[in-house]
Amino acid sequence: MSIRYAITIEGNTLFVTASGFDESLAEVEQYGLAIINAAIAGGVTRILCNETDLEYRLDTLDTYRAAEFIAEHAPRVAKVALVCAPQHMADARFWEDVAVNRGLLVCAFKDLPSATQWLNPPPSGPDLGD
């Protein structure tokens, strides 16, 4: 397997750090299922995938199929932030569009601070009106 990853849980967030490259659709599906299963087992609803050291090699059709597969298997209660290298942002945004159109709450980012803020927005204060 060419995708190497580590999974940890802190509080209500599952953190994934991935590196290497995606060699095939089957490998990407296995990687996705490992994340889904870890989130379910850990009872978490937020997932932060740091894929800045992961090279995306799937073609457009397999990227579509991967997003479709993950959307079919992922719980709808999870909120997923995906951080990728800038050169892979177009592929990540395409994957995001396919997954979101199938009901997932996922967003792709170029940097960890933006992804973390989206996953864990600061609490809003009381509505004081106008």
CATH code assigned at 35: 3.30.750.24
Q: Give me the domain span that covers residue 49.
A: 3-119
Give the per-residue pLDDT at 77. Answer: 74
Q: How far apart are CA 54 and CA 18, in angstroms?
A: 6
Cα angle, residue 99 at apex, residues 91 and 54 outer, rounded to 5°? 40
Does residue 109 belong to any structural domain of this protein?
yes
Report the number of distinct structural domains present in the chain.
1
**Mean per-residue pLDDT for 48-74?**
96
Alpha helices in the chain (DSSP H): 25-42, 60-73, 89-100, 112-119
Note the pTM of the prediction, 2 decimals: 0.89
Residue 84 has pLDDT above 90, yes or no: yes
Does residue 25 belong to any structural domain of this protein?
yes
**Mean per-residue pLDDT for 12-41?**
96
